[in-house]
Amino acid sequence: MKTLHKSVVALALSAAMGLVSPYAALAADFVTKQHGVTVSVPEILSITGDVTNFTLSFTGYAKTGDESDTKTVTYTVQSNNMRQADGAAAVNANLDVLFDSMDFLADVGTYTKTSGNTELAESASGFVKIGATNTAIAKKANTIAGSDGKLLNGQIPITYKVKATGDVPTGSYSKQLFVTLTTI
């Protein structure tokens, strides 16, 4: 009896001190652990073309005003952080060095959206002269009202040709073309 009395007194003292909750038997069916969760999404900025190098050809004698054939390159573009304002430049093009007696021209086609909440549109209609410094050829074009327009995923075709600005002698003339997808 003394042992039982000591156990009851110990239990009563524990309950009084808050060590044993009167609801302990009810709460013993589960316990919860809280976690802080962070989701990290890496920034994506990518432009790839379906062609690596290409040749533009004249059909014969190249005199002032003559134009070469055309070549269309389809670019796949992706970005999850298009920060520039709607209507600002999104695709720029430039040559490392200009062609002698020829203008290099580019014409942006219709953007095809795969997903996202922004698109691209041509900066100016028709063929645009590409120089040795960045020339804006496509601009950001938000299509979902009220969106932040930061998610870009789709394809855009760009057609290229050269136009003779003088008589062009026979030969092959190689330059580097840079097509840049920008987010600022």
Residue ranges of the alpha helices (H) in the chain?
A: 2-16, 24-27
Domains, in order of start, for the chain? 45-181 (2.60.40)
pLDDT at 58: 96
Per-residue model confidence (pLDDT) at position 115: 95
**Measured between alpha carbons, how far is 140 from 54 in angstroms, rounded to an integer?**
27
pLDDT of residue 72: 98
Output helix, strand, coil percentages for the chain, rounded to the nearest 5. 10, 40, 50
Successive 10-residue mean pLDDT values, the chain, 184 residues: 49 50 62 95 96 95 96 98 95 98 98 95 97 97 81 98 96 97 95
- What pLDDT is attached to residue 27? 54
What's residue 4's pLDDT? 47
Query: 180, 144 in Cβ contact below 8 A?
Result: no
Please answer whether residues 158 and 77 qualify as being in contact, where contact means their C-beta atoms are separated by less than 8 angstroms: no
Plot region of 183 (φ>0 → left; ψ -120 to 50 → alpha; else → beta): alpha
Predicted pLDDT at 142: 85
pTM of this structure: 0.81
